[in-house]
A and B are shown apart, each in its own frame.
Chain A
Amino acid sequence: MSTALKPPPAAPAAPAPRRSSRKRRGAEPGGRVLAPTPLTRIGLIAVSVLSIFPLYWMIVIASRSSSDASKFPPVLVPGGNLGEHADRALNDPQANLLLGLQNSFIITGTVTLSVVLISTLAGFAFAKLQFKGAKLLMAIVLATMMVPIQHLGLVPLYLMMVELGWTNTLKAAILPFLVNGFGIFMMRQYALQSVPDELIEAARIDGASTIRIWWSVVVPALRPGMVVLGLLTFMLNWNEFLWPFLVLNNENPTIQLVIRQISIGLYTTDLSMVFTGTLISIIPIAILFVIFGRQIVSGIMEGSTKQ
């Protein structure tokens, strides 16, 4: 009742009495600027449904039986077999799912730690320290972001691993990804924005060494950026396929290689099992996405406008 009486007399002609006063204030000059139309909402709902549907359908089929995948109109209600399927998939010695998960965690974790550490060190140097050649070196870093090194250097990198006898070892899958120009670029931007020069000067006067300053002034200020970079790097590398496909085999696979293997070989005809395995491979990233959605969204958005 009280809310119905709320509209302040200052704006008696307000067209939509249900709008909150906060909105009305923003809408003064060009009232309808950027106001959502029904079409906007319908479009967004349609896009969201399309975004989610393949994922949802995967869960549905993974929790039912393979024959349900062939039905049309499609079955849309999950069944009760997911636990049993997951149990079978995880314990199938031929599927190697657990080993794949473990390898992917080791590879992706190492790569993520390394990228975040190296990028934070170099990003700080490029943003806040003066040294000869800094501009040139930064230009090189930017150039590495543009060049698809992975493909251009694929053959010799592969030969290098063969020569060193490192194929089918995790270090072969890890080493080429330890550095990343984008990470340095991103941490440099964060450092420019969030580390005040005065703080560094003050620490210098107190006699702190550069490394000390990095650790006790820069790292605390960059921590949110480090989290975002870590999340993006983890997601990117968890999904990496081509390089592990070249240097690892099915006895020592990453989770992505496992999914390829079970979908084309092991369970070809048993779609429920294929989808169960695929679902398991997505879960770690999905968990990160749900917990850190805000950081991931802002990381993608900020990374682009700073170009």
Chain B
Amino acid sequence: MTTAQPTRRPARPKSVRERLHNFDIKGTPYLLVAPFFLLFTVFGLFPMVYTMYASLHQWSTRNPDRTYIGLDNYSFLLFDYDRFNWSIVNTLGMFVIATIPQLICGLMVASALNKRLKAQLFWRMLVLAPIVTSVVAVGVVFARLWGQEYGMVNGFLGLFGVDNINWQSERWSSWIAISSMVDWRWMGYNALIYLAAMQTIPRQLYEAASIDGANSRQQFWQITVPQIKPVIIFTVFMSSVGGMMLFVEPMMFDSGRLSGGTDGQFQTTSMVLVDLLRTHGNYGMSAAAGWILFVVIVVVASVNYLIVNRIQGNK
């Protein structure tokens, strides 16, 4: 390079020091970001691409020589394996009944925390406290709270004359119990995210609205919610991805099994995927389930985005 432009530069050849400096300016940035991209390629990108390959083959512990079978794994899952389709229904159902109350409560708690309170950190830590509990621990405790014989929920309902409910036995009841675990753990986290966004809203907006006679309910819907819409979209997106991969809560609700109840009434798609992988050793099928789940997640996240994006304040 130095000899290529002899006229522009002094004839003196570059010293080692200069070369090092040049490399440091031009090359070091790549060295700094390299670890991420190397590790990501090996443990993120490659497995993703390879999943595609695996999903197109008949490949299991019993059939270790991969045979190319096109889309057969996909069509089996979608058309011949009822459990799989039901698992998507279950996952979607639990996602809906877990996410909607969770985000609405999160918004309400955030707007309460946004008031002029004393001991702000104390309140914030209280609502965030469930996050310290691991999902497994949540499952252990909540499975007990929702127990049929001695569960506290049934005990409480008994005060109103309701007979003991076997929460595991029905689709709707098991979904409610499992959703309660998700809500309990994540509501405070979402509330803090909303709170952070609410604090960036200029107070003058509220003051003006208050002079115009808007009560706090109107202020909430017409100022707060539209102002923090981008953050609501963000939390809905995160909840969609997380909710569609629901795994530990329903597993712990069924004493650690992957079958999601007697008829798979609360078996999620992730549980089917892990069941295919671990119990049946069917790699190809499990990989196909992974891709279908991915497509479902993309669809759900996009639909949710479109729905939330319609939230408008009447200004």
Closest B residue by C-beta to A154:
B290
B155 x A73 contact (CB < 8 A): yes
A2 within 8 A of B: no
Question: Which residues of chain A have C-beta atoms less than 8 A from B40's C-beta?
Answer: 144, 179, 181
Q: Which of B44, B127, B136, B207 contacts A47 (CB 8 A)?
A: B127
B166: Cβ under 8 A from any A Cβ: no
B229 at the interface (CB under 8 A from A): no
| B96 proximal to A (CB < 8 A) | no
Q: In the complex, A148→B287 CA distance in Å?
A: 14
Could you tell me the distance in whole angstroms from the C-beta of A103 to the nearest C-beta in chain B?
Answer: 14
Q: Are A144 and B44 in contact (CB under 8 A)?
A: yes
Q: Residues of A contacting B156 with CB < 8 Å?
A: 72
Within 8 Å CB of A293, what residues of B? 121, 125
A295 CB, min distance to chain B CBs, angstroms:
11
Kindly list chain B residues whose C-beta atoms are within 8 Å of the C-beta of A54: 130, 133, 138, 141-142, 145, 184
List residues 185-226 of chain B with CB under 8 A from any CB of chain A: 187-189, 192-193, 195-197, 200, 203, 206-208, 210-211, 216
In this assembly, does B140 line the interface, its C-beta being within 8 Å of a C-beta of chain A?
yes
Interface segment out of the listed B2-10, B74-82, B105-113: B105-113
Closest to A70 in B: B150
* Interface hit among A10-18, A80-88, A219-227, A258-266: A258-266
Closest residue on chain A to residue B195 by CB atoms? A301
Within B290-304, which residues are at the interface with A (CB < 8 Å)?
A: 290-291, 293-294, 297
For residue A21, give the distance in angstroms from its CB to the closest CB of chain B. 14
Q: Interface with A: B47-55, B170-178, B259-267, B306-314, which one?
A: B47-55
> Contacts A69-B144, A74-B152, A148-B245 hold; do A51 and B134 have CB atoms under 8 A apart?
no
Q: Which residues of B contact A48 (CB under 8 A)?
A: 123, 126-127
A184-B36 contact, Cβ under 8 Å, with A155-B51, A239-B135, A297-B128: yes
* B43/A176 in contact, CB under 8 A: yes
* CB of B247 within 8 Å of the partner chain: yes
Q: A122-B36, A153-B51 are in contact. Are A263 and B256 (CB under 8 A)?
A: yes
| C-alpha gap A121/B34 in the complex (Å) | 9
User: Known: A44-B113, A48-B127, A155-B290. Contact between A30 and B206, CB under 8 A?
Assistant: yes
Distance from B211 Cβ to chain A, minimum over Cβ atoms (Å): 6
- Neighbouring B residues of A124 by C-beta, 8 Å: 32
A93 within 8 Å of B (CB atoms)? no
A155 touches B54 (CB 8 A): yes
B48 lies within 8 A of A152 (CB): yes
Shortest Cβ gap from A274 to chain B (Å):
6
| A44 x B256 contact (CB < 8 A) | no
Number of interface residues of A (CB under 8 A): 100
How far is B294's CA from A89's CA once the two chains are assembled, in angstroms?
40
A282 within 8 A of B: yes
The verdict on A55 contacting chain B, using a C-beta distance below 8 Å, is yes
A129 located at the interface, meaning its Cβ lies under 8 Å from any Cβ of chain B in the complex: yes
**Residues of chain A with a CB closer than 8 A to B54's CB:** 155-156, 159
Residue in chain A with minimal CB distance to B293? A151
Cβ B234 vs Cβ A121 within 8 A = no
Q: Are B196's CB and A305's CB within 8 A?
A: yes
Q: Which residues of B contact A238 (CB under 8 A)?
A: 134
Q: Which of A251-307 contact B (CB under 8 A)?
A: 256, 259-260, 263-264, 268, 271, 274-275, 278, 281-282, 285-286, 289, 293-294, 296-297, 300-302, 304-305, 307
Total of A-B residue pairs, C-beta within 8 Å: 289
Contact across chains for A246 and B256 when beta carbons are under 8 A apart: no
| CB of A210 within 8 Å of the partner chain | yes
Contact partners of A241 in chain B: CB under 8 A: 134-136, 247-248
A179 touching B245 by the CB < 8 A rule?
no
Q: In the bound complex, how far is the Cα of B144 from the Cα of A293, in angstroms?
A: 29
Give the CA-CA distance A241 to B187 in the complex, in Å: 20
In residues 144-172 of chain A, which contact B (Cβ within 8 Å)? 144, 146-160
Q: Does B28 lie at the interface of the complex (its beta carbon under 8 Å from any beta carbon of A)?
A: yes
Q: Mark B265-302, 1 if CB is under 8 A from A, else 0.
A: 00000100110011000010011001101100100000
Which residues of A are found within 8 Å of B85, using beta-carbon distances? none
- B161 contacts partner chain A, Cβ-Cβ < 8 Å: no
User: Is A6 an interface position by the 8 A CB rule?
Assistant: no
Q: Is the CB of A35 within 8 A of B115?
A: yes
Tell me if A151 and B294 are in contact (CB < 8 A).
yes
B134-164 residues at the A interface, CB under 8 angstroms: 134-138, 140-142, 144-145, 149-150, 152, 155-156, 158
> Given the complex, which residues of A lie within 8 Å of B256, measured CB to CB?
260, 263-264
Q: Does B89 contact A (CB under 8 A)?
A: no
Given A48-B127, A300-B193, A301-B196, A33-B32 contact (CB < 8 Å):
no
Checking A121, A153, A282 against B47 with a beta-carbon cut-off of 8 angstroms, the contacting residue is A153
Contact B108 A286 (CB under 8 A): no
User: Which residues from chain A contact B144 at a C-beta distance below 8 Å?
Assistant: 69, 271
Give the chain B neighbours of A158 by CB distance below 8 A. 277
Asked if A304 meets B196 with Cβ closer than 8 Å, knowing A156-B50, A285-B132, the reply is yes
The 8 closest A-B pairs by CB, nearest first: A153-B47, A72-B155, A30-B207, A70-B150, A301-B196, A264-B256, A131-B29, A30-B210
A-B contact pairs, 20 of them (CB 8 A): A26-B116, A47-B109, A51-B129, A54-B141, A125-B33, A130-B29, A149-B47, A152-B48, A153-B50, A155-B286, A157-B43, A157-B47, A158-B277, A159-B54, A209-B24, A241-B135, A268-B255, A274-B140, A297-B124, A304-B192
Q: A154-B273, A260-B136, A300-B196 are in contact. List 17 more A-B contacts (CB 8 A).
A: A30-B206, A33-B203, A37-B216, A40-B117, A43-B109, A137-B33, A151-B245, A153-B43, A153-B51, A155-B277, A156-B46, A156-B47, A157-B43, A259-B137, A264-B255, A282-B137, A301-B192
